[in-house]
């Protein structure tokens, strides 16, 4: 089901590291190159790599996909959004091709003052390069649209194969993603360096799996890798009477509360 993600190695991630060296995700923007396609909430933002970067930088992404190819993200803005009280950002990677927030999780975003963003067409059938890229571009998409976010509260989450991709990205970019929630899927990191590991020690990570989840052993194994590496701000949540599925409102809220806890 997720072999292409499970076996993702340094051969694939190395080109991405080169490309993302040209990327400053939270750079302040005054020009709006993204397009909101609805005035409702949640809503869709559509953009392209060519619109998000200048010509020279965009060319470094040309191997990911055509620079003029549209990418869309589903966005939920917390009801209490105000640039005077900048929200955090939760970037979500789904195993399906919809980035839409589960409806009952909207109240969690409201409570914790978080913007939700998830890419469409970023499911398990999409190449890992694109899934990683779409998620990493998400903070830039939001700020280019003119929304203010708190860079110390940018988090990453995903379910199943999306959780595995999230774990690869969160461990490769701990200076961007200050916490992560892996729902029923996580991978051991690649390309780890002492510098990245030190940054990860300041971040917070939650591993969630159901008692009857076929990925439970996987979650426990990666959790132990994090723990053995010296990371302390960790939580493993095994949920009774749950299989391979996203957690309930109560359990996901608890996970958000943990990663969003101030040091």
**Segment 205-226, tens digit of pLDDT:** 999 999 999 999 999 999 999 9
**11, pLDDT greater than 70:** no
Q: Where are the domains of the chain?
A: 3-251
- 55-87: pLDDT as tens digits: 888 888 888 999 999 999 999 999 989 999 999
CATH superfamily of 3-251: Alpha/Beta hydrolase fold, catalytic domain (3.40.50.1820)
Residue 12's pLDDT is: 44
- pLDDT band per the 50, 70, 90 thresholds, residue 32: very low
Confidence of residue 262 (pLDDT cuts 50, 70, 90): confident
d(CA 257, CA 13) in angstroms, rounded, equals: 31
Strands 204-210 and 43-47: unpaired
Q: Which two tokens stand for residue 120?
A: 């469409």
């Amino acid at each position: 089901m997720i072999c292409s993600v499970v076996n993702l190695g340094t051969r694939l991630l190395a080109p991405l590291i080169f490309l993302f060296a040209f990327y400053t995700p939270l750079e302040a923007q005054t020009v709006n190159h993204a397009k909101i396609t609805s005035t409702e909430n949640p809503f869709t933002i559509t953009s392209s790599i060519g619109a998000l970067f200048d010509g020279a930088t965009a060319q470094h992404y040309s191997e990911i996909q055509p620079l003029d190819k549209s990418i869309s993200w589903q966005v939920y803005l917390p009801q209490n959004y105000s640039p005077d009280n900048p929200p955090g950002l939760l970037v979500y990677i789904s195993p399906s091709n919809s980035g839409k927030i589960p409806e009952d999780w909207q109240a969690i975003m409201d409570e914790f003052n978080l913007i939700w963003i998830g890419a469409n067409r970023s499911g398990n059938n999409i190449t890992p390069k694109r899934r990683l890229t779409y998620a990493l571009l998400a903070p830039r998409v939001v700020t280019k649209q003119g929304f203010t976010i708190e860079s110390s509260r940018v988090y990453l989450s995903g379910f199943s194969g999306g959780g595995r991709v999230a774990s690869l990205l969160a461990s490769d970019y701990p200076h961007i993603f200050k916490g992560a929630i892996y729902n029923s899927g996580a991978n051991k990191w690649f390309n780890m360096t002492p510098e990245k590991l030190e940054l990860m020690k300041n971040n917070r990570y939650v591993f969630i799996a159901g008692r009857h989840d076929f990925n439970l052993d996987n979650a426990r194994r990666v959790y132990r890798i994090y723990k053995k590496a010296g990371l302390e701000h960790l939580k493993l949540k095994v949920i009774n009477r749950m299989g391979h599925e996203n957690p309930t409102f109560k359990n996901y809220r608890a996970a958000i509360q943990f990663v969003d806890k101030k040091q």
